[in-house]
Every structure is written in structure tokens, then in C-alpha cells.
């Protein structure tokens, strides 16, 4: 009965189990089988494990010494699908990423400095880097603060996440099909990867208003079939191959903003509708809204100025992405603010 040191951390609007690679089997198949068992499946509720019965609470972060300069730690993200019990490393998670800073400091992997501590994270899934800045007065991690993020109750200390090189993270190019607009099953879509592979399409093109509740969308089987058909065709075009068993690309339905932001979103990740929106999913979607020919641009309300603060509206509020554009209109910098909290530290029993 293996007992493995583990921390449960809320990272942004997700919750995950964090492990050090040295505590897990080296071979990926053995590691994944063990993690699937710990999270508890195959069972949509994950009642026999520590997963939360939803893709957003069935996530794992594996932390290891850095293999890329100038990173402080390596972070491998694994998505455990509760019902199917598959374990996928095909995507990043920008929410658990915020918790990596907490884990690294709490475990002493990165020494806290007086004031602020920067933790540079190598996101092993895609090879990209992110610089996290955490508050550490007196070399202690500050937990309390006044930063609120929609989708999480209360407030906490901010964690600034500055992505260094995320364009084409999984697909090799920002626009992996070579176009800002493609047509799949008669619907105009943008296949984009600015940190997360996402197919962005107008809700109206599928007969939706775009502000339906996640519950209503989850219950709309014909819609989900249409989205899956588009997704399965988009996968190979996005250089992701057969994506039937993959958690990417995500499917983001966009419509005009309702609350003065950039755009309204409803995102399937990819078979369940997100209660808010993923971090890198939001960065990719915001990017699609800035491409003049993209279907999303026709309904987005992008502010002037550079850098831009882009409020991506989602079912539980909005999510601010900060972007700087180069002279040719390409995104040269992207960043977000998240919060994270250590919830539990102990041993997981497999």
C-alpha cells in the first residue's frame, strides 16, 4: 500500500494533487496508473480517491529539478479524466501553474526571499517558461491578500504569472492551420495556440446566444455532438493528430461581451463546460479576438492601447489577460494574476 507525500493545492480556479517526481515511479505508465488510482477512478465521482469528480478538480502536478535554463523547477501537468480514468500530458494547466510557486516555496525547492520571490517554471508539457512572482515578506509565503478571482470565493495574495514563450506551445505555431479562419462542418472557426490549443467559434453560428449556463450547455447533447465532430477534425489540422482521447483542443464559444469586457465565453474542456475559463485557454481565446480576420474579432470589443488589459467574460465573472503586441500585431507578452492556497499536506495512499 504505497504512501506518497502529496499536497492538495487550489491553483486559480482549479484544485490539484502536487507530487515530487522523486516520490513517483519513473516510468510514465506506472506513474499514471498509480496517479489514476490515487485520484479515484474509473468513477465520475472519484469517491474512492482524492479527485473532486470534475476535470477541474482531477488534476495532478509533478514537480522536479529544472531541466531547462533559467527555470527553478520543472512542472509536468497531468489531467486525470474522472470517468474514463485516462491520464493525459497533452496540455498545460495555467491554473495549477500558480500553485507550483506555493509548492516550490513550501517544500523548500526554491528559497523565499524577503519581499517577493520569483519562481521560474519550466512547463514540461510544452517546454514553455513562466515567471511567477509571489509575495514573501520576511521570507514567508503570504497567503492572505485582497486579490479576488472570479470563480473562487474570498480573496488571497496575488500571484503574478508572466508567460515567456507560449505561442505555438503544443501545435508548433500560433495559427497551426496557417489561417486565422477555417471552415469545419460549415462553421467558421479559428484554431489557435497561444499557450493552449483552442478552437474558437461564434456561439451564434451554432444557434446559441452564448450566455447559456454551463449546466444547460452540458445537457445539450446535439450541441456536444456537433462540437466533438468539429474538434475531431480540428485536431489533425492543428498538428495534434487524433484527439479522440486527448483533452485538447478546447472548444470556446464566443459571443458579444455582456459586462463591458472583451468577449463572452463558454468553453468545453473539451467534453464538459468550464465553470469559468482556463488560464491559457483565456490567453488563446483573447488572442483570437485580436486577429482581424478571425470570426471572434467581429464581435469582440478590444480596448485601445498597448499593453492591453483584456477582460474575458465567462460563466462566473471575468478573467483579465494582459497582452502586449509588437509592431506587426503579434502578441509579444502575456500575463495574468491568479491566487493559490495550500489546502492539505500529507501522504496519499494508493
State the cell numbers at 36: 489514476
- Scanning 176-184, 219-227, 272-280, 296-304 for contacts with ligand NQM by CB under 6 A, the matching segment is 272-280
SS3 240: coil
Of the ranges 17-25, 257-265, 277-285, 296-304, which one interacts with ligand NQM (CB under 6 A)? 277-285
Task: Specify the residue, 279 or 323, whose C-beta has the smaller distance to ligand NQM.
Answer: 279
**261 in contact with ligand NQM (CB under 6 A):** no
Rank residues 92 and 136 by Cβ distance to ligand NQM and give the closer one: 92
Q: Cell numbers at residue 321, please?
A: 489577460
Concatenate the DSSP letters of all residues of 105-118 into one string. HHTTSSPPPSEEEE
Min dist CB 270 to ligand NQM, Å, is 8
Q: Does 49 bind ligand NQM (CB under 6 A)?
A: no
Binding positions for ligand NQM, 56-85, rule CB under 6 A: 56
Piece in contact with ligand NQM (CB under 6 A), picked from 34-42, 91-99, 140-148, 289-297 = 91-99
User: In this chain, which stretch among 32-40, 92-100, 127-135, 309-317 interacts with ligand NQM, using CB under 6 A?
Assistant: 92-100
Residues in 195-224 at the binding interface with ligand NQM, rule: CB under 6 A: 196
Q: Which residue shows C-alpha cell 469545419? A: 184
The residue to which cell 506518497 is assigned: 4
Q: Does 177 bind ligand NQM (CB under 6 A)?
A: no
Should residue 94 be labelled a site residue for ligand NQM when binding is judged by CB under 6 A? yes
- Distances in Å between the Cα of 220 and the Cα atoms of 207, 208, 322, 340 are 12, 11, 33, 33
Phi, psi at 32, each rounded to 5°: -65, -40
Residue from 192, 280, 299, 310 that binds ligand NQM (CB under 6 A)?
280
| Residue 17, H or E segment | strand 14-20
The Cα–Cα gap between 117 and 139 comes to: 8
Helix then strand count (H, E) for the chain reads 5, 17
Q: Which of 158, 261, 281, 335 binds ligand NQM (CB under 6 A)?
A: 281
Look at the block and give the residue holding cell 467581429.
298
| Residues 161, 128: Cα–Cα separation, whole Å | 13
Query: Which residues are within 8 A (CB) of 117 and not within 5 positions of it... i.e. 6 or more apart?
Result: 101, 105, 110, 111, 133, 134, 136
CA nearest to 176, candidates 249, 281, 266, 92: 249
Tell me, by CB under 6 A, how many residues bind ligand NQM.
15
Nearer to ligand NQM, 170 or 255 (CB): 170
Of the ranges 39-47, 62-70, 273-281, 293-301, which one interacts with ligand NQM (CB under 6 A)? 273-281
Site for ligand NQM in 155-174 (CB under 6 A): none
When asked if residue 255 is in the footprint of ligand NQM (CB under 6 A), the reply is no
| Burial zone of 312 (CB within 10 Å; 0-12 exposed, 13-18 middle, 19+ buried) | buried
Q: Contact between 279 and ligand NQM (CB under 6 A)?
A: yes
Alpha helices per DSSP H over the chain: 28-39, 94-106, 214-218, 221-237, 279-289
Q: How far is the CB of 123 from ligand NQM (least distance, A)?
A: 10
- Residues 8-27 touching ligand NQM, rule: CB under 6 A, are 13-14
Closer to ligand NQM by CB, 41 or 55: give it. Answer: 55
Residue 338 in the binding site for ligand NQM (CB under 6 A): no
Which stretch, 32-40, 93-101, 104-112, 209-217, contacts ligand NQM (CB under 6 A)? 93-101
318 binds ligand NQM (CB under 6 A): no
For the bound state, the minimum distance from the C-beta of residue 225 to ligand NQM, rounded and expressed in Å, comes to 20
Look up residue 81 and give its DSSP letter. Answer: P
Q: Is the dihedral of CA 340, 342, 347, 348 positive or negative?
A: negative
CB of 108 to ligand NQM, least distance (A): 26
Peptide bond into 127 cis (omega under 30): no
Which residues of this protein are in contact with ligand NQM, per CB under 6 A? 13-14, 55-56, 92-95, 196, 250, 269, 278-281
Amino acid at each position: 500500500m504505497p504512501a506518497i507525500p502529496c499536497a492538495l493545492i487550489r491553483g486559480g480556479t482549479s484544485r490539484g494533487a502536487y507530487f515530487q517526481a522523486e516520490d513517483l515511479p519513473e516510468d510514465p505508465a506506472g506513474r499514471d496508473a498509480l496517479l489514476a488510482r490515487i485520484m479515484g477512478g474509473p468513477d465520475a465521482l472519484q469517491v474512492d480517491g482524492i479527485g473532486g469528480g470534475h476535470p477541474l478538480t482531477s488534476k495532478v502536478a509533478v514537480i522536479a529539478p529544472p531541466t531547462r535554463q533559467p527555470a527553478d523547477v520543472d512542472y509536468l501537468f497531468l489531467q486525470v479524466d474522472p470517468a474514463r480514468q485516462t491520464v493525459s500530458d497533452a496540455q498545460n494547466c495555467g491554473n495549477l501553474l500558480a500553485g507550483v510557486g506555493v509548492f516550490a516555496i513550501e517544500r523548500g525547492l526554491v528559497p523565499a526571499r524577503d519581499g517577493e520571490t520569483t519562481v521560474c517554471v519550466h512547463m514540461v508539457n510544452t517546454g514553455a517558461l513562466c515567471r511567477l512572482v509571489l509575495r514573501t515578506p520576511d521570507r514567508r509565503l503570504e497567503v492572505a491578500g485582497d486579490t479576488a478571482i472570479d470563480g473562487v470565493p474570498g480573496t488571497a495574495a496575488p500571484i503574478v504569472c508572466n508567460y515567456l514563450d507560449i505561442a505555438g506551445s503544443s501545435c508548433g505555431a500560433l495559427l497551426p492551420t496557417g489561417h486565422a479562419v477555417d471552415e469545419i462542418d460549415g462553421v467558421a472557426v479559428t484554431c489557435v495556440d497561444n499557450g493552449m490549443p483552442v478552437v474558437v467559434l461564434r456561439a451564434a453560428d451554432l444557434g446559441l446566444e452564448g450566455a447559456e449556463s454551463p449546466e444547460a450547455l452540458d445537457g445539450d447533447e446535439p450541441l456536444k455532438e456537433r462540437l466533438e465532430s468539429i474538434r475531431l477534425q480540428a485536431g489533425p489540422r492543428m498538428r495534434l493528430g487524433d484527439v479522440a482521447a486527448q483533452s485538447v483542443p478546447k472548444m470556446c464559444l464566443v459571443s458579444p461581451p455582456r459586462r463591458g469586457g472583451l468577449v463572452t465565453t463558454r468553453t468545453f474542456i473539451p467534453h464538459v463546460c468550464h465553470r469559468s475559463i482556463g488560464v491559457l485557454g483565456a490567453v488563446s481565446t483573447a488572442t483570437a479576438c485580436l486577429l482581424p480576420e478571425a470570426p471572434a474579432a467581429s464581435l469582440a470589443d478590444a480596448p485601445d492601447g498597448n499593453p492591453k488589459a483584456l477582460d474575458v467574460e465567462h460563466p462566473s465573472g471575468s478573467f483579465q489577460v494582459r497582452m502586449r503586441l509588437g509592431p506587426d500585431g503579434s502578441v509579444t507578452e502575456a500575463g495574468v494574476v491568479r491566487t493559490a492556497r495550500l489546502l492539505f499536506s500529507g501522504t496519499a495512499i494508493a
